[in-house]
Amino acid sequence: MSAMLQRGRVIQDPALVRTLFNDRRMSILWLAARIWLGYQWVEAALHKVENPAWTVTGEALKGFWTAAVQVPAEGRPPISFDWYRSFIQFLLDAQAYTWFAKVVVFGELFVGIALILGAFTGIAAFFGALMNWNFMMAGSASINPLLFVISLGLVMAWKIAGYIGLDYFLLPLVGTPWGWVTQVRRSTPASETENVKT
């Protein structure tokens, strides 16, 4: 993320970007953002966990989706994009709210816990941002834009965002998916590699 070679010329990231997303000293900033964001997700999930309309029937999500797909006679509909409205309508018609509501509740809870603990922070922040994006697409602004921006920051700072947290232990232990591919290539004998290429 810090440099790129283009036409024989090295293009560097600005010093502020390198510091903000790669310097371990900034992990204290990301710790504060991570814990606050995690708390928001856990709090949102806990309001839903004990509500049967979320965890049993899915009626709460059905109500949210039904309101979101409505097109008023005057003014703007909650969902601005027809393709997204069609997608939500498809989920309503398939009665996906019965199981999808549980995904929302426990997704919020797991994202919040992972962010607070600093466990796989980049992945947790990505799925949090994905949920925020879907809430915004469905017409629910609230604080979702702010949560989305903080999540994107955590995704970009994934190497240091969980440094003060479980990622300090998890990232060296587990590694990264692209690191696994490199290890597999290195550990595969040359004869097997040649067979795969042909």
In this structure, what are the phi and psi dihedrals at residue 41, rounded to the nearest 5 degrees?
-70, -45
The answer to whether residue 82 is domain-embedded is: yes
What pLDDT sits at residue 54?
A: 96
16 phi/psi in degrees, rounded to 5? -60, -40
In a domain, 48, yes or no: yes
Report the number of secondary-structure helices (H) and strands (E) in the chain. 12, 2
Q: What is the pLDDT of residues 25-35, one digit of tens each?
A: 999 999 999 99
Q: Which regions in the chain score pLDDT beneath 70?
A: 1-4, 177-178, 180-198
- Kindly report the pTM of this predicted structure: 0.83
pLDDT at position 75: 83
The answer to whether residue 186 sits within a structural domain is no
Residue 13 in any domain: the answer is no
E-strand ranges in the chain read 3-6, 9-12
pLDDT tens digit sequence for 58-68: 999 999 999 99
- Rounded Cα distance, 124 and 107, in Å: 9
The total of structural domains in the chain comes to 1
Parent domain of 162: 33-171
DSSP states of 11-67: EEPPHHHHHHHH-GGGHHHHHHHHHHHHHHHHHHHHHHHT-HHHHTS-HHHHHHHHH
Q: What is the pLDDT of residue 198?
A: 47
85 within domain boundaries: yes
* Cα-to-chain-centroid distance, residue 80: 22
